[in-house]
A and B are shown apart, each in its own frame.
Chain A
Amino acid sequence: AQTVTQSQPEMSVQEAETVTLSCTYDTSESDYYLFWYKQPPSRQMILVIRQEAYKQQNATENRFSVNFQKAAKSFSLKISDSQLGDAAMYFCALNLDSSYKLIFGSGTRLLVRP
């Protein structure tokens, strides 16, 4: 069975600093996609970044980047120059190429201190 684990229920970062959110996953398949979604207080579900497992290069989107370690089954999210608007729940998700279901972790709440 596929699982996604986010071991940090809550993280805190000073505004303008950098923070890394951890995610590990388990699957026996080799082709899959990984995502980070942001859920602000409005409870919208916003795509932050995605990574294809076959790509060795880590994905980046402006201040957001990932550290994808396929052998270790690790997919962490780095947020640089943190802003107050980054405060939210962040969910890591796995999507197998053979499937369509997104499998989510339990989330990490990010607090940003002004």
Chain B
Amino acid sequence: GAGVSQSPRYKVTKRGQDVALRCDPISGHVSLYWYRQALGQGPEFLTYFNYEAQQDKSGLPNDRFSAERPEGSISTLTIQRTEQRDSAMYRCASSLMSGGTEETQYFGPGTRLLVL
């Protein structure tokens, strides 16, 4: 597709369950980012990939959160043993490359996660 796609768009889960959120970046984009956006706030950085390498995971809140991008394209953000405080919009973005003039990040529609 022409833009960043994410699935599922909505996810309702029970506390304690694991969830996997998928991101398919714009074709040819080297860099991929995950952000989390609480209601009424701006997105906050979680992690960043350059090709398949996870270059920075400093924004992941704890070890229940992990992400991978094994072939340098599609990425999965996994949350284990979900808690109610994990409820938020999870956004994926991609850019042609990191740094320089092609660093503009284009966002997907997000996955809204609700943990009951």
Interface residues of A (CB under 8 A from B): 4, 33, 35, 37, 42-47, 50, 52, 91, 93, 95, 97-98, 100-107
Contact = CB atoms under 8 A, between A and B. Distances in A.
Nearest to B59: A101
Contacts of B93: 45, 102
Closest 10 CB pairs of A and B: A104-B42, A45-B107, A101-B45, A100-B98, A91-B42, A104-B43, A44-B109, A100-B48, A107-B42, A105-B42
A100 B107 contact: no
Contacts of A101: 33, 45, 48, 56, 59
B99 A93 contact: no
A97 B44 contact: no
Main secondary structure of the interface of A (DSSP, over half): strand
A47 B104 contact: yes
B106 interface: yes
B48 A106 contact: no
B103 interface: yes
A48 to B, nearest CB: 11
A43 B109 contact: yes
